[in-house]
Chain A
């Protein structure tokens, strides 16, 4: 691959008897914004700490800018890191926090001043330079923490859940700022989060992790529209994808998923391999891919259901319905309201559905 910035080869790591990462491979392109996404405890931070050099790997290699840094100290890897708890040195002023790393590296005074000034301009923290971290708000603290990575002129930025300690409003503000920062600096950034919105909005590519294994590595739209397996499909999207367990049936030149006595016509599904009659499958339908009370286009069959609960959310309206003996969610435009108990007809766009093998849980 050309212009690889960070490359993780056959990385394994265990804490005593517990293996957290097992022969993990990952290549990150130069200037790429890669998000490691997964639920808590899946090994995201562990992987990031290995790349940073804060954890000794049990096996495998790590390359940064084509240099083998597996045994290098964190400071020699050309990385800067931003932590969830900000990790600002409490007894130092903002200015000292920014310049600490440069002072340790014995950078000349004028150069330090220049870089601190530049970083504080980019992050708009000049008025805060003389303050102590305890006198800053959460958002300002995280800005300073980003500045600390910025002054060191590093090749790779590592973020470990940098926005998780902030309230919702600040989080979305700083998210935009991080994206802007990436667009102007064009550094490689590796960003750990458990928040799928952050992942989808920021990433060039997302690596979805589960129990230390990367489940899918792709751009956000591919992850969202064509999840590689059942885990990724269920993890991404809120409310999550509706799943129907059933059996494939081929008759009259058409393909159906037969689930709980209901036939879903999946002939329009772009399957990678020909369907096999009788195969046990899981059909996945995103809430926004269900049409309510609209004429089915072409030969699409429609289904009848009754509205159970309505959750108006402003722009959208979320309906919970009963279909094929189970509850499913449907997202419609906010102004379309349905009282509970209303009977509706549903039709599905199978071209954007997902079908997984029930045993391997992989996409068909």
Chain B
């Protein structure tokens, strides 16, 4: 580099005046780009339209939930509230009526917490060990096991609902939270195992070999070597499971009794309750409350999610 600079300065001195001017006046440094080029307009235009498309319903929901019923009857759903009230939120949480009871979404919220946390932990614990065993310990029948698991992922849920009801009944846990947790754990297994297997397969194989030469066994390698390197993929799995299980409606209705209904089912019952007038503000507040948990999870760990997806899902 310094050679080139030195060469240039020597050349400058030697050149006649007219030629140096031309050298100095020529293009230099970063090439300028126009901010309003056709390409930029296309890209940003599309992005803005797509963003609006997704944000508009959220905007309407928030605005409506903060209005009183008289204001809603005026009919302009896009107008911000003239008088902000949190009454609908309180009602949605603690006293909105479903067909059966009038204690709002709070019951469903705690049910959902009691379903989501154990299901997420158990399914991730099992799937991560599965993935680790499949990726690193090529045991006999591993390929077959993996194939069966993946095929399982493509069977439509509807086909399996009735057989599972029977299985749960025979085990004596039909209608209980335990039964639902088991169902969520099993249904999360194929995709989570695939996720973990791909992630572990992408880690350097020599690391695993080094640990074996060092005398570490199956569990020591899993806990001491693999786990500490796998935070991103655990976050991905956590997000997938928390949002998936929290948003589940079908299994919640089918496999539990009304007192154990998760938040989504409770929400449906509030919104579709036929008595009295439709309280749009309460319904909107209830909907936002139900969606708050997945939203919160995304905001807190979104960055890790992207990193983990990039690391785990791309490599075969």
Contact = CB atoms under 8 A, between A and B. Distances in A.
Interface in A77-114: 79-81, 83-85, 87-91, 100-101, 104-105
Given A75-B215, A101-B215, A104-B214, A87 B225 contact: no
Contact of B214 (A53, A75, A85): A75
B224 to A, nearest CB: 8
A143 to B, nearest CB: 15
Contacts of B214: 75, 100-101, 104, 148, 152
Interface residues of B, number: 16
Interface stretch (B98-106, B204-212, B235-243): B204-212
A180 B45 CA distance: 66
Interface in B191-239: 204, 206-207, 209-216, 220, 224-225, 228-229
A53 B204 CA distance: 18
Contact of B206 (A53, A85, A91, A148): A85
A52 interface: yes
B182 to A, nearest CB: 34
Nearest to B225: A89
B220 A75 contact: no
B213 A81 contact: yes
A74 interface: yes
A83 B214 CA distance: 13
Given A54-B213, A75-B213, A104-B214, A87 B220 contact: no
A91 B226 CA distance: 10
Taking chain B's interface residues, is the majority helix, strand, or loop, or is none over half, making it mixed? helix
Nearest to A77: B213
Contacts of A104: 214-216, 220
Contacts of B215: 73-75, 101, 104-105
**What range describes how many residues of A lie at the interface?**
20 to 34
Contacts of A300: none
A81 B229 contact: no
A49 interface: yes
Contacts of A73: 212, 215
Contacts of A49: 209
Contact of A79 (B206, B213, B216, B224): B213
A83 B209 contact: yes
A54 B214 CA distance: 12
Interface of B: 204, 206-207, 209-216, 220, 224-225, 228-229
Interface of A: 49, 52-54, 73-75, 79-81, 83-85, 87-91, 100-101, 104-105, 145, 148, 152, 160
13 contacts: A54-B213, A74-B215, A75-B213, A75-B214, A81-B210, A84-B206, A89-B224, A90-B229, A91-B229, A100-B224, A104-B215, A104-B216, A145-B210
